[in-house]
Amino acid sequence: MGNRLAIRGAAVAAAVFLCLGGIPAPPALPGAPPALAAGPVSGVPASVPAAWTATVAVGPVSAGTVPEVGAATSTVRRPPASVRSLGVLVNKSRPLKPATYVPKLTTIKGTSFRLRPEAAAAYRKMAAAAGKDGIRFRVVSAYRSYARQKQLYAQYTRLYGKAYADRISARPGKSEHQTGLALDLGAASGRGQLAGSFAATREAKWLAKNAYKYGFILRYPKGKEKTTGYAYEPWHYRYVGKTISKAMKAQKLKTLEAYYFGP
């Protein structure tokens, strides 16, 4: 009897693993044309596989108050329902709700760009620490409104048609920049700005090594296009808070999707 129970338990555990973590990643997106490769607009993330919906709610994220997600030890976590949560997951399958959501914002000192106060304060600390190492950043983009994203998406649609625009640009209401928690960074010198070559700069290398200490993660890492649906963007950093950033670092998780749904 004991052996039969042990075998049955192992079978159930294997089934759960296949349902939650052992699922194939969505297809990769082709790269954008050279004219757009260095542009400020991210591509549209791939849809969340249907298998995820068995344990994780997939749908619009609302503006209700939900605390920041903690560093749970489970492989699969439930993404917060509130767009106000620092750990909010926004992509093509999880649009903002309301779509025209406007967060509380503050101007990043020394720039004309705005972020949520928590993200702006964390960025100031990170920039100050980088300065001590002789590193200076340039903020290239931060908060974008629904109206601005609508403008950008319409521009790409006119240039390339809707089908292709959907593969390279987030539709309004589905952009991480609208949360006020994402920013695009470059070198103060302008080298590699919004281009893959930024990864080779001292600034990018410093960020890759230290950003997590201040609550930031590289949102669209190299080789993870199948998971995020976005091309590699070594300049795009997202503030998630230290709880999540440090947990991702400790568990060697490369994407926010992996943090919630498992690698």
Active site residues: 233
Provide long-range contacts, Cβ within 8 A and 24+ apart, for 26-31: 26/226, 26/227, 26/229, 27/226, 28/225, 28/226, 29/167, 29/168, 29/225, 29/229, 29/230, 29/231, 30/167, 31/231
Helix ranges (DSSP H) in 133-241: 146-160, 162-168, 202-210, 225-228
CA distance 256 to 74: 14
CA-based nearest residue to 169, from 156, 185, 180: 156
Grouping H, G, I as helix, E, B as strand and the rest as coil, residue 75 is coil
Q: Are 97 and 61 in contact (CB under 8 A)?
A: yes
Q: For 6-43, give one letter per residue: b (16+ CB within 10 A) or e.
A: eeeeeeeeeeeeeebeeeeebeebeebeeebeebbbbb
Q: Which residues contact 73 (CB under 8 A, 6 or more apart)?
A: none
